[in-house]
Structures are given as C-alpha cells and as structure tokens.
C-alpha cells in the first residue's frame, strides 16, 4: 500500500490554512442517502415538500458531518478551536440560513454542479454574519458525498447596501414629497424623471411627462417664469433653476420648478404699501400747504365781513365763500387722516353731540334738493373717541350718500345703543360675521339713492377706489372712515340694494359710566368771545395767513404784533410784554415750539397757542415737551380762535 506523500500533505495543509476565506470540508453522504430515501418514498417536488415540512430540513442539517475547516473559519465565527466548530453546525443556522439550505438540498438532489447563496448566519458570540456561501462537490466525478463550502464575509457590504437603500428611500421620499417640482432633463431636452410636484405644476401626468420635451411641457412667461397650476387648483407663477448632473451615466440637468405665487403676491403687497406710504407723505404735505391757503382765505373773509368796506354785495359773496372753505377743510382733513399712522386722541364724548356739532356744515355740503334728517336716540350715548375724527367719519358717509342722490332725495342720520344681540350684515373692520358685544353705541347714515352694485362692495373700502368720474372723487372717503373707526375699536356694516338705497352703520364701544376718564365735553358757547385789549404776538411765515389772522385778532379786540419768523420775534424790544403767543409750528429756522420756549425765558407767564396745517399728531409729536400749550389745526374759524384764546389766557 502506497504511503501518503508527507511533504505534499504538509504543503496542502499550509495552503489550506493560509487562505483568508473560510473553507469547510463536509461529509454529505448521509444527507444524500436521506434525499434518495425521500425520492423512493415518492417525493417529487423536494422544494415544496421541505417547505411544507420545516422539521425535515432541520433533521437533514443534523446529518452534516464536518471533516475539516481552515484557520480563517475560526476567525470568521469567533471560535477558539476547530473542535468547537465541528459539532456546532446547526447552531450557526438562522431561519434565513435554513431557507437557503433547503434550496441547497434541491441542488444536491438534482445533482447540479454547485450552489451559491447569500445567507444570514451568526458568530459564537451571537453577532450577525452575512455570508456569500458557495457549495461544490469535493470530487465532481463522485457526486455530492463530500463537499467543499467556502464562506466569504459580506457583512460590511450588506450593511453598506442597506444604508444605501435607506438613503435612496429617504432621498426618494424627500423628492416625492417636495413641494418644488423636480425633474431631470437630458442633453436632448427630454424629461427622464419627474416628481409628483412637477407633474402637478406642469399639469401633466407622470406617464406623459417623462419622455416629453421640457420646453413643450412648460408654459413660459418672461424671465424664466412659468405659468403653473397650484396644488389648490388655482393658476400661479413658478421660477426655474437648474444645475448640471448625470443620469444613467450621461450628462443631464436637474431642473427645479418653484411655486413663487405667494412670494410674488407679497412683493406686490409690499410695493403697494411703499406706494401708499409715499402717497401718504405727499398727501400730508399737500394738505399742509392747502390748509395754509384755506386759513388765509377764511381769516380774510371773516375779517372783511366784520367791516363795511366790501358793501352788501361783497358780504354776500364772502358768505358764499365760507361753506366752500369748510368743504375744502373737510377734504384736506381726509388727506391728513389718510397720511397719518398714529392713534387718535381719545376723550370721553357724547355721540349725539358729535353728530349735532357737524349738522350745520353738512347742510351746506349737500345739494338743496337733498333732505337731511336727524333721528337721534334720547339717551346719553357715551363713547371714548376723537371728536374731529368721528365727525370726519360722519361727513364722509353723508357726502357719499349725497353722491348717490343725483336727482335729490333723503338722508337720515340715526343714533342708538345696542346692549346685546346679533347683527348679520356685511361688515368691515372686524370681519364679515360679527357677534354683538355688550355695550355698543352706534350711528348710521341711510339714503334712498342708487345703492351700491354688488361688484363694487368688495372694493368700496380700498384707498383711492372710486366709481365717480375723473376729477369728481378721490376714493378716500370710505377708506379714511374705516381707518378711523378701526382705530376706535369699532366696525362698519353696510346694507345696500341697487336702486333701493344704502345704510351704513358705525358701531363703537360704549364708554362705561364711572370710569376714570374725564367728564364728557360740553358744547362751547355760541358766537365768538371778544378780547379785552390783551397783547398778542402772532408769528406766521405765510404772508396771506398772517395778514388775515392779524385782522381777525384786531377785530376780536386784541392788540396784535404780526411777524414772519422766529428771528424777528426774538429781536423784539425786550421791554415789550405780551400775554399770548400764537405761532405756526413750522417756521423758517427755529420751530414754533422752540420759539415759545425761548420767549418764555423772557416772559414766563406767556400763553401759547401752536397752529399748523399738519395733522394733530404731527403737532403733538413736535411740541410734546412744551408745557401749557394749546394746539389748533388750520383752517379754524374766528369763533373757534376766540374760544381757544380765552381758554389759554384764563389758564395763565
């Protein structure tokens, strides 16, 4: 008998143990015999049989006999010796590995040349192992009685693949759920990929979009903007952006379609706000200049009415001029209210008094063929508000009502109190549906005119929106009214029917009795209050206004010195004394407020009245540090001036 070649055996063993891949030599003869028995028993479809009898697969595992393993196997499984592995084959099989072994048994039964599969196993410490296992007969000519099993550790590869799949899934979810349209366009301009947002924005189903030309699918406007369909179905605007990429190894571009409809809307809103800010500033400046002119006209007219120089016909003309000046005063006040941004000066008021206080001017503003009627609540309607601004709301509503009566008709002004209940008409300032709050006072202006068309109602409170012919309306009346009422924490409700008239209701919070506020202002005494020879220093840079006010003050009985600027006033003889300073706010050089402070150093008891064509808020802001001063807004009447002078002198 030939003895084994010892050197060759040693060489083979050295090679076997030095190979870094796990190699197992296993005796499969018992397994093959068991498979033959199953075949003899009539098992034709071995795979189905083993699937239906999982215990049979586990039994066949027990028949495997390990003949040899190399050193790499010890390291792979974390074993300390070969003997530890020889009797532990079944322990290394996970449920997934048993499924793979079942497929291996089918390959053995069919006498295939080999079997390869990725299986899940475990180390001795219990850690998971992912292996690429290859099983072949040790001697192909002798069948599957003895096999060689190689196991390559692919745990890191499988982990990397899992992470890659997770990353791809996350990326796909991000792309699919992104509200931006994302598409891949190849070098030929064809769409190779598109996410759902792209399909929605471009209004094309995925099956039609992919493969089409992007230039044909997109509806271009200008500046790389697209017309798109938003998620809510409304038309919109989108912007395009793209970067270079690759797709299937070929150059391509990643195109992003972003819905910018809302941003464009906000940009337009901002531009409109900036325009309104600029218009407001311009309006304030124009109103200031116009108020100076009106003051000059009013003072001059009143001064001439007090003399016999103009004669009867001249006085009649001057009397006709006064209501026109008052109407101009109303218009400039609207410009100032539109241009201002400050809160109103609130004080306790009686609403009926505010309404009655404006009725005389309103009767002059409306045409003779329009009947103006008051139906006021007999109760004391207390409200906290700005007398001038609430009066302006009434004027605006009455003027609007008069415009709806080109052939004449009637306007009714009512007032009242609504302690509770619900009112459901169109409203502005507090939303469209309003639940009554306890303690509201109200006034309304109702006409029997043409009514407001339905398509106009949604825009009726917009600044500068008007349905009147060019030159006949500013479009500020209702927007100014709404702004004032909103600042008074109130609301406006409109009930209108075409050809049946309009009713505009203004609701304001009731001023609670017993609050810490001052008492409600009382009506001033009628007529002007004459002076008693007190000395008045008038400083006004507008010559016509200065001249008219000088004549009015002289008529009222005051000894008046009229100057054009602060420099002249400070240059007066220090031995002179004055009881009252009436100064314009905006003077060349030194302001009126600063002049008052300088002159009070000379005459500590000097009374001060600051006058200006700017809004009351602008005046208050500039003279906030000036103590014991009174403010008058141009244009003011001779009667108003006389009362304010008396108050300022009496406080000295």
Indicate the pLDDT class of residue 418, thresholds 50, 70 and 90: confident
Average pLDDT over residues 80-106: 84
Q: Does the domain spanning 178-259 belong to CATH 3.30.450.20? A: yes
Cα separation of 385 and 374, whole Å?
21
Indicate the pLDDT class of residue 219, thresholds 50, 70 and 90: confident
Closest CA to 291 of 547, 620, 623, 611: 611
List the single range of 287-296, 367-376, 415-424, 441-450 with lowest mean pLDDT.
415-424
Higher-pLDDT residue of 400, 8: 400
At residue 474, the pLDDT reads 44
Cα separation of 649 and 581, whole Å?
10
Average pLDDT over residues 588-612: 91
At residue 252, the pLDDT reads 94
At residue 114, the pLDDT reads 93
Written as six digits, the tokens of 423 are 């009112």
Indicate the pLDDT class of residue 477, thresholds 50, 70 and 90: low
Decide if pLDDT at 74 tops 70.
Answer: yes
Higher-pLDDT residue of 482, 374: 374
Written as six digits, the tokens of 624 are 């906030």
Decide if pLDDT at 352 tops 70.
Answer: yes
Cα separation of 593 and 587, whole Å?
10
Q: Rg of the Cα trace of the chain?
A: 49
Decide if pLDDT at 423 tops 50.
Answer: no
Written as six digits, the tokens of 106 are 């089918």
Decide if pLDDT at 515 tops 50.
Answer: no
Written as six digits, the tokens of 372 are 């103006």
How many other CB atoms sit within 10 Å of the CB of residue 155? 16
Angle at 356 between CA 352 and CA 360, to 5 degrees: 170
> How do strand 191-194 and strand 181-186 relate by DSSP bridges?
antiparallel
For the chain, percent of residues with pLDDT exceeding 70: 79
Decide if pLDDT at 87 tops 90.
Answer: no
What does pLDDT average to over the chain?
Answer: 81
At residue 316, the pLDDT reads 67
Cα separation of 230 and 236, whole Å?
6
DSSP 599-639: HHHH-TT-EEEEEESS-HHHHHHHTTT-TTEEEEESS--HH
Average pLDDT over residues 264-269: 80
> How do strand 580-584 and strand 607-612 relate by DSSP bridges?
parallel
Cα separation of 436 and 433, whole Å?
10
Q: What dotted CATH number matches 16-159?
A: 3.30.450.20
At residue 427, the pLDDT reads 43
Residue the block writes with tokens 């410490």: 125
Residues forming a β-bridge with 225: 239
- Measured between its terminal Cα atoms, the distance across the chain in Å is 146
Q: Is 212 helix (H, G, I), strand (E, B) or coil?
A: coil
Contact call for residues 285 and 624 (beta carbons, < 8 A): no
Residue the block writes with tokens 């493969």: 211
Is it true that 16-159 and 178-259 share their CATH fold?
yes
Average pLDDT over residues 376-381: 90
Higher-pLDDT residue of 625, 563: 563
Give 139-161 pLDDT, tens digit per residue.
Answer: 888 889 999 999 999 999 999 99
Indicate the pLDDT class of residue 513, thresholds 50, 70 and 90: low
Average pLDDT over residues 36-48: 92
Q: How far is CA 18 from CA 72, 73, 151, 627, 641, in A?
A: 8, 11, 15, 105, 116
Cα separation of 396 and 404, whole Å?
13
At residue 623, the pLDDT reads 66
Contacts of 35 (CB under 8 A, 6+ apart): 46, 60, 105, 108, 109
Higher-pLDDT residue of 11, 554: 554
Q: How far is CA 559 from CA 261, 298, 529, in A?
A: 67, 20, 15
At residue 518, the pLDDT reads 39
Indicate the pLDDT class of residue 516, thresholds 50, 70 and 90: very low
Q: What is the 3-state secondary structure (H, E, C) of 463-478?
A: CCCCCCCCCCCCCCHH
Which listed CATH number (3.50.50.60, 3.30.360.10, 3.40.50.300, 3.40.50.2300) goes with 535-650? 3.40.50.2300
Give 526-579 pLDDT, tens digit per residue.
Answer: 567 888 999 999 999 989 889 989 989 998 999 999 999 999 999 999 889 999
Q: How far is CA 474 from CA 83, 282, 283, 480, in A?
A: 104, 14, 12, 11
Written as six digits, the tokens of 560 are 């008046």
Cα separation of 83 and 43, whole Å?
36
Residues forming a β-bridge with 496: 502
Q: What dotted CATH number matches 342-509?
A: 3.30.565.10
Contact call for residues 67 and 146 (beta carbons, < 8 A): yes
The per-residue b/e assignment along 34-56, b for 16 or more CB within 10 angstroms, e otherwise, is bbeebeeeebeebeebbeeeeeb
At residue 231, the pLDDT reads 60
Decide if pLDDT at 347 tops 60.
Answer: yes
Domain ranges of the chain: 16-159, 178-259, 265-322, 342-509, 535-650
The per-residue b/e assignment along 360-384, b for 16 or more CB within 10 angstroms, e otherwise, is ebbeebbeeebebeeebeeeebbbb
């Amino acid at each position: 008998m030939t003895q084994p070649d010892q050197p060759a055996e040693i060489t083979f063993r050295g090679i076997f143990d030095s190979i870094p891949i796990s190699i197992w030599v296993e005796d499969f003869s018992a397994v093959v015999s068991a498979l033959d028995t199953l075949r003899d028993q009539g098992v034709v479809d071995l795979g189905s049989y083993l699937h239906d009898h999982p215990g049979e697969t586990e039994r066949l595992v027990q028949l495997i006999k390990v003949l040899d393993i190399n050193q790499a196997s010890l390291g792979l499984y974390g074993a300390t010796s070969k003997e530890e592995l020889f009797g532990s084959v079944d322990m290394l099989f996970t449920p997934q590995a048993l499924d793979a072994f079942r497929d291996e048994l089918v390959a053995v039964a069919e006498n295939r040349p080999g079997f390869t599969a990725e299986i899940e196993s475990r180390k001795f410490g219990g850690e998971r192992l992912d292996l690429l296992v290859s099983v072949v007969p040790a001697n192909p000519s002798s069948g599957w009685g003895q096999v060689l099993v190689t196991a390559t550790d692919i745990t890191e590869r499988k982990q990397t693949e899992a992470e890659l799949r997770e990353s791809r899934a996350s990326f796909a979810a991000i792309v699919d759920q992104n509200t931006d349209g994302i598409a891949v366009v190849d070098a030929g301009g064809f769409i190779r990929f598109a996410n759902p947002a792209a399909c929605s924005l471009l209004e094309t189903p995925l099956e039609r979009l992919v493969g089409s030309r992007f230039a044909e699918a997109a509806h271009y406007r200008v500046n790389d903007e697209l017309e798109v369909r938003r998620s809510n179905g409304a038309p919109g605007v989108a912007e395009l952006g793209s970067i270079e990429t690759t797709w299937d190894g070929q150059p391509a571009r990643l195109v992003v379609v972003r819905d910018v409809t809302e941003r464009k809307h906000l940009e337009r809103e901002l531009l409109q706000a900036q325009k309104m800010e600029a218009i407001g500033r311009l309006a304030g400046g124009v109103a200031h200049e116009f108020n100076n002119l009106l003051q000059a006209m009013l003072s001059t007219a009143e001064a001439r009415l007090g003399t016999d120089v103009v004669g009867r016909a001249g006085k009649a003309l001057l009397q006709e001029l006064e209501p026109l000046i008052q109407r101009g005063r109303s218009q400039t006040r609207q410009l100032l209210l539109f241009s201002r941004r400050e809160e109103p000066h609130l004080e306790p008021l009686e609403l009926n008094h505010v309404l009655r206080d404006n009725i005389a001017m309103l009767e002059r503003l409306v045409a003779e063929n329009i009947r103006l009627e008051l139906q006021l609540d007999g109760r004391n309607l207390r409200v906290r508000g700005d007398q001038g601004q609430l009066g302006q709301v009434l004027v605006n509503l009455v003027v609007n009502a008069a415009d709806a009566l080109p052939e004449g008709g009637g306007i009714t002004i009512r007032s009242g109190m609504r302690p509770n209940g619900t009112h459901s008409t169109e409203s502005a300032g507090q939303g469209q549906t309003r639940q009554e709050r306890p303690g509201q006072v109200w006034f309304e202006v109702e006409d029997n005119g043409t009514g407001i068309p339905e398509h106009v109602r949604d825009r009726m409170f917009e600044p500068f929106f008007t349905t009147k012919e060019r030159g006949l309306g500013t479009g500020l009346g209702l927007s100014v009214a709404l702004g004032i009422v909103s600042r008074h924490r109130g609301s406006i409700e409109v009930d209108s029917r075409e050809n049946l008239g309009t009713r505009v209701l203004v609701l304001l919070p009731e001023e609670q009795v017993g609050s810490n506020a001052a008492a409600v202002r009382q009506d001033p005494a009628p007529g002007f209050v004459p002076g008693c020879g007190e000395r008045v220093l008038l400083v006004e840079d507008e010559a016509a206004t200065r001249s008219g006010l000088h004549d009015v003050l002289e008529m009222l009985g005051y000894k008046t010195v009229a100057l054009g600027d602060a420099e002249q006033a400070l240059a007066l003889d220090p031995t002179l004394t004055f009881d009252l300073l009436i100064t314009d706010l905006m003077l060349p050089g030194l302001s009126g407020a600063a002049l008052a402070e300088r002159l009070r150093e000379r005459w500590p008891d000097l009374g001060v009245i600051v006058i200006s064509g700017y809004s009351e808020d602008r005046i208050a802001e500039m003279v906030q540090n000036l103590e014991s001063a009174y403010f008058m807004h141009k244009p003011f009447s001779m009667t108003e001036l006389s009362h304010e002078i008396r108050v300022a002198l009496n406080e000295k």
